[in-house]
Amino acid sequence: MASPSSLEDEELRQAIAMSLANTSVHPGDEDDDDDVRRAIALSLCQDTPSDAQTVPLPGSQVDSVMGSQAAACTDKLSQYAPASATSKTSTQLLTDTSSTSKPSEFLGLDRKAMESERLARMGKRKRSASPELPSKQPTKARVAGPAAQQSTTDALQYPRGTVKRTWATKRPRSNDIKLEEVLQRNTLNIAVLSAFQFESTWFHENQIDPYQVKQIWIFSAKGEGLQEKLRREAAESQIPNFKMIFPPLPGQSLNMHGKLMLLFHPKHLRIVVPTANMIKEDWGETGNSWQPGVMENTVFLIDLPRRPDEKAAVEMDTNFGKEMFRYLKEQGVTQNVFEGLLKFDFGATAGFAFVHSIAGTTSGPERSRTGLPSLAKAIQDLKLDDIDRLEIDYATSSLGALKEPFMKQMYLAACGLSPLSDTKINVNILDHFRVYFPTKETVTNSTGGPDCGGIITLSRDFYNASTFPRQCLRDYQSTRPGLLSHNKLLFARGCKKDGTPIAWAYIGSANLSEAAWGMQKVLKSGKEGSSLVRNWECGVVVPVPAENLQSVGSGIPPMSVFAGTVDIPFVYPASEYGGREPWIFRG
């Protein structure tokens, strides 16, 4: 008779198989679905290395792949190991906090061991804590660290919003930020967190104490069978102050890929939109003291004050807040979160725009409210439309089956126009659209080398297609030499029809693909067809202040205009590939 654990594994295999069967993906349509298929195949493979044989969980269809990639990545990084590190293998050093999960452990989280460590640290007797209710323990006992030096009486750190690069160990600090500095864990009460990947053991041992912070995790899990398995494992692990939300993934939709943090503190709310997942490599860590960071990301964050009258607003009063609320409601976030958000003043978000992609197939008015139309609306709301000419520089960590029609729709949306607009653009769009993606040479020569490039994806079949816009590709070389990029950044520069210069940047989770942004279709009859968005995504549009554009005069600003607003993480201008090849993760 099969053991309970083997039956659970078989249930998971069946759930994954069913979810893949329901997607009906056509060859050449997308990029992200191939990534997930590969990840699932590897995670279920019987001969997968033991360090990668974790139960495939949230977003997790790639978590096991990341585990094996990290193990391989450390082979390249072992050259940095001091002699004293030779008592452990490089794989052990990189995965010390990522041991193989047991059936009763959710996402590899050893709750019993963590509780013992907590009791030893706090010197207090164990107390029960409901997963549904925030802990009432005093905040003064929270983990100390750089972020713990901030007093709850301090002024808001980023009241007008800011964009920073992620910190990378062994690198000089320069307008960067660590995850612990983002979280401000000493005063954090509630954290609503969404990402495609979570590394829970690392996160709970090094970033947030679940006994002190109520957590709501929003992540990707398609199919009732997989979701039920995750709920069961979470219940068995008895994680305190913990709740999961699985956004709908109907039909051919694939992933909850959005990255967002809502961090509730006694006196302020911090909204964070990163390009990073909740894994240590994305936040510049490597799991030990001697390896340098291998990956870089970008983070938008803004601090909002609690309303002085302590009364919640009746409704959201900024476009940023309204679009964020819509995105969260569609994901299934509960009413008490919205009630909490309305207790904070969103006034400072009026100068930014929240952009989203809601997974699913839409038609009619709903079609014009998410994906590329969401970007177009954001540009209109910020008065960055009425464009005469526009230049786009897009840094992406994954590329789909790019074709000129999609690139045109992306360009129109960035101009604040409907993706199906019949407005004639009197330029060759591909001449004004640059895509930053690393060459094989750049990845090979990076700090982590090719074994750390698994998160950067492009199919050779896509690239070799006659319809792929090769002339748009530029080599992504980090301004911090050796780092690979997980960024998803769009830099737009242009001038309005009256000659006024404009510039803005998008920071978010959306790669340059139809899976992320959707594509508007026109039927043979001439009518607009339905729109398919495969992924949940979110991001923020950050305009360059008008005063920074004054020295430009008229015309299109140079890339240097972003100085002081968003640090451009890649070297520019960058040459075309020429005879070089792009980095191909799979053949």
Please compute the mean of the pLDDT values over residues 473-493 and round it to a whole number: 97
Tokens read off for 443: 């990845």
Other residues' Cβ atoms within 10 Å of the Cβ of residue 471:
13
Q: What is the pLDDT of residue 421?
A: 78
pLDDT reading at 33 higher than 70 = no
Nearest alpha carbon to residue 506 among 543, 474, 454: 543
Residue 59, φ and ψ in degrees, nearest 5: 30, 10
CB 487 within 8 A of CB 297: yes
CATH placement of domain 352-562: 3.30.870.10
Q: What is the pLDDT of residue 80?
A: 53
Q: What is the pLDDT of residue 154?
A: 53
Pairing of strands 360-362, 298-305: unpaired
Tokens read off for 468: 């792929």
pLDDT, tens digit (0-9, with 9 covering 90-100), for 136-181: 333 333 333 333 334 444 579 999 999 999 999 999 999 999 999 9
Q: What is the pLDDT of residue 287?
A: 78
Q: Which of 204, 265, 356, 486 is catalytic?
A: 486
CB 135 within 8 A of CB 129: yes
Whole-angstrom distance, CA of residue 540 vs CA of residue 356: 9
Q: Which of 26, 204, 257, 268 is catalytic?
A: 257
Whole-angstrom distance, CA of residue 443 vs CA of residue 428: 31
Residue 191, φ and ψ in degrees, nearest 5: -130, 120
Whole-angstrom distance, CA of residue 233 vs CA of residue 221: 14
All structural domains of the chain with their residue ranges: 129-137+155-348, 352-562
CB crowding 559-577: b at 16 or more within 10 Å, else e: eebbeebbebbbebeeeeb
* Crossing angle of the two packed helices 404-414 and 372-381, in degrees rounded to 10: 20
pLDDT-based confidence at residue 244 (cuts at 50, 70, 90): very high
Give, for 355, the enclosing helix (H) or strand (E): strand 353-357
Other residues' Cβ atoms within 10 Å of the Cβ of residue 288:
20
Q: What is the pLDDT of residue 552?
A: 82
Q: Tell whether residue 497 is among the known ligand binding residues.
A: no
pLDDT reading at 5 higher than 50 = no
> Per-residue DSSP letters for 89-132?
-HHHHHTTT-PPPPTTSBTTB-HHHHHHHHHHHHT-------TT
Catalytic (active site) residue 257: yes
Whole-angstrom distance, CA of residue 91 vs CA of residue 94: 5
Q: Tell whether residue 329 is among the known ligand binding residues.
A: no
Q: 129-137+155-348: what CATH class?
A: alpha beta
pLDDT reading at 84 higher than 70 = no
Nearest alpha carbon to residue 537 among 521, 514, 566, 520: 514
pLDDT, tens digit (0-9, with 9 covering 90-100), for 463-472: 999 999 999 9
Whole-angstrom distance, CA of residue 176 vs CA of residue 569: 11
> What is the residue type of 309?
D
pLDDT, tens digit (0-9, with 9 covering 90-100), for 336-394: 999 999 999 999 999 999 999 999 987 766 667 899 999 999 999 999 999 999 999 99
Q: What is the pLDDT of residue 81?
A: 53
Residue 66, φ and ψ in degrees, nearest 5: -60, -35
Catalytic (active site) residue 432: no
Please compute the mean of the pLDDT values over residues 540-567 and round it to a whole number: 93
CB 359 within 8 A of CB 533: yes
